[in-house]
Chain A
Amino acid sequence: MSLSMVAKYIFLTWEMTKSSILSAMEYRVSFIVQVFGMLVNDIALVAIWLIFFQKFPSINGWQFQDTAMLFALATVNFAIVMIFARGAFELSKTIVRGELDYYLSFPKNVLWHASVSKTDISAIGDLLFGLIIFFFSGDISLEKIGLFAVIGVLTALIFLNFIIITQSITFYVGNFEEAAEQMFHALLGFTLYPQTAFYGALKIIMLTIIPAFFIATLPVQLIQKFNLEFFLILLGFWILTTIIATIIFRRGLRRYESGNLINVKM
């Protein structure tokens, strides 16, 4: 894929998301309720750890500030995926119902098109929350903002790859919708807790099947103290998951059976 092609796809992604957001904004009350509802929802999540750290001030060196940074990053990378590529989270459903036909009839990349076709409006609340928490988390420098942005996007892409891989298993085993959703929630679940509390086999799960280490533990360490070696590991993991996601989706697509559905999208 050439660089100009990548730029074109980024531009198209932006335009499609913009039009989804603008159409959702037509229902003003609903839009505001969703965004602010999510903001309150996220604040409640932080509240629980505020209480926890009053009882246990430090978990192997992990303090409330670390949890705040973890939440900032986790909500931002989650929001990026859900705002720009909510459709990826519904791939399994789309495959099972034979609704991929619609995207197959377009000249653009099927996976990209199916992914960017939906936007989760409430995720704008997550994004706002993540940014607010980040800016209130202490010593903010221009360098740290840049680092947060780069790592936020990189971890969002890893997160997206994870979603594509788990959702695409449906091509091979049939009904994997609920299992894929459970795996997604397991990954999100890991990002709630102090990352230094885990050890042994659970740590191995975090490094492999449910790669929370790469979207939460390592990125938070990187933002707090940059280390080129760790950054390259993160970059390498993104490349690896991109290759796996592409292969699994492409091979799966060959097994896809049309639902013979004729849909008109308005």
Chain B
Amino acid sequence: MNEVKTLQNGSGLFGYKFLKYFEIAKVNYFNSSAYLVNLISRSAIVVIRIWIFTQLYKVSYAISGVSEIGGLTVAMVVWSLMMTQSFQTATRPQLSKIIDEEVKSGTLAYSVNRPYSYILFHFSGFIGRSIPNLFINIFIGSLAALVLVGPIGLSWEALLFGAILLFFGYILDFFVSLIIGLTAFWIEDTSAFTWIYSKGQLVFGGLILPIALFPDYLQKIAELLPFSQMYYGAARLMVHFEPTLFLKYFATQLVWILFFGVVAYYLFNKGIKHVSVNGG
């Protein structure tokens, strides 16, 4: 009788163990498939967007009867749009929203007391978040662009100098986003500034229409604005390298970084005076 009981318990235990591992496998499966659905959907949207650009610019160039506008062919336009979109969307979630939340929720009060620079802490986070997204975006975007418009000639110097502009572009975007987030010290809702900022990037940042295709007078203005110096400069240089253009963009970038860096630092110092830490 006892033997039977032991056996029953044994098989029960075995069954239990098996079930446990099955459940673990199931949880992991659903966990990874949940992310897979997200990854597929995100990638599908990138592909659809590049597909839209391809058809739009193929038709537009064909109607104009030209193969090159402002030094860019259809393939170059599509690749440059793929790059600006990839560079910009890699920074999500928006830093301005994160800072805004921290200011409103009071988390900032705890962060400023810790032994690190608040600004540098967020800068590291901003770059750290952007890198994996950037690689995924570029990988999927490049595949889509390759299939839809074919390859373009990419030189090592174009990639290298483009990457320098991209890094400084991220610094510039960081400072502007930080400023928008910090305005939460004085304004209840900063989302309107975020929308306007992102639309500034959309119009003058070469996210839908490369600045090289702008009318001349507008092109000159757009190239001086900070929006074009975030991601368009890098993309433009990568698809078609011109040393003088690099110097021009790099100088403009540095001026804007200096300006927004000073403003961000000033606002941050002014803002934390509003912070009052309550014990408890």
Are A and B subunits of one complex? yes
In the assembled complex, A233 has its CB within 8 A of some CB on chain B? no
Beta-carbon nearest neighbor of B209 in chain A: A52
User: Which among A38, A58, A122, A189 is the interface contact of B48 at CB below 8 angstroms?
Assistant: A189
* Interface class of chain B by DSSP: helix
Within 8 A of B (CB), among A19-78: 27, 29-30, 33-34, 36-38, 40-41, 44-45, 47-48, 51-52, 54-56, 58-60
* Count of B interface residues, CB-CB < 8 Å: 39
In the assembled complex, A137 has its CB within 8 A of some CB on chain B? no
Which 10 pairs of residues, A with B, have the shortest CB-CB distance? A37-B192, A44-B199, A179-B41, A175-B34, A41-B195, A182-B41, A56-B60, A30-B188, A178-B38, A30-B189
Given contact pairs A33-B189, A40-B199, enumerate 15 new A-B contacts (beta carbons under 8 Å): A33-B188, A37-B192, A37-B193, A37-B196, A44-B200, A44-B203, A48-B203, A51-B209, A56-B60, A60-B59, A122-B192, A189-B52, A194-B56, A200-B55, A210-B48
Residues of A within 8 A of B202 (CB): 44-45, 48
Query: In the docked arrangement, what's the CA distance between A199 and B189, Å?
Result: 42
Query: In the docked arrangement, what's the CA distance between A174 and B45, Å?
Result: 20
User: Which among B33, B51, B193, B214 is the interface contact of A202 at CB below 8 angstroms?
Assistant: B51
Beta-carbon nearest neighbor of A37 in chain B: B192
Query: In the docked arrangement, what's the CA distance between A178 and B41, Å?
Result: 8
In the assembled complex, B30 has its CB within 8 A of some CB on chain A? yes
18 inter-chain pairs at a CB distance below 8 angstroms, sorted by A residue, are A30-B189, A33-B192, A37-B196, A38-B195, A41-B195, A51-B203, A51-B209, A52-B209, A52-B213, A56-B60, A56-B64, A174-B34, A178-B37, A189-B52, A190-B52, A197-B52, A197-B55, A197-B59
Beta-carbon nearest neighbor of B203 in chain A: A48
Establish whether residues B49 and A189, one from each chain, have CB atoms under 8 Å apart when the complex forms.
yes
**Contact mask B43-62 → A, CB, 8 Å, 1/0?**
01100110110011001100
Beta-carbon nearest neighbor of B60 in chain A: A56
Beta-carbon nearest neighbor of A121 in chain B: B189
Expressed in whole angstroms, the minimum distance between the Cβ of B88 and any Cβ of chain A is 14
In the assembled complex, A205 has its CB within 8 A of some CB on chain B? yes
Residues of B within 8 A of A48 (CB): 202-203, 208-209
Establish whether residues A54 and B34, one from each chain, have CB atoms under 8 Å apart when the complex forms.
no
Residues of B within 8 A of A176 (CB): 37
A198 with B55, Cβ < 8 A, contacts A174-B34, A175-B37, A185-B45 known: yes
Beta-carbon nearest neighbor of A189 in chain B: B49
**Contact mask B197-238 → A, CB, 8 Å, 1/0?**
001101100001100011100100000000000000000000
In the assembled complex, A173 has its CB within 8 A of some CB on chain B? yes
- Which one of B37, B55, B200, B209 has the greatest number of beta carbons of chain A within 10 Å? B37
Query: In the docked arrangement, what's the CA distance between A77 and B148, Å?
Result: 32
Establish whether residues A174 and B195, one from each chain, have CB atoms under 8 Å apart when the complex forms.
no
Query: In the docked arrangement, what's the CA distance between A6 and B196, Å?
Result: 39
Expressed in whole angstroms, the minimum distance between the Cβ of A57 and any Cβ of chain B is 9
Residues of B within 8 A of A199 (CB): 55
In the assembled complex, B191 has its CB within 8 A of some CB on chain A? yes
Residues of A within 8 A of B193 (CB): 37
Residues of B within 8 A of A205 (CB): 48
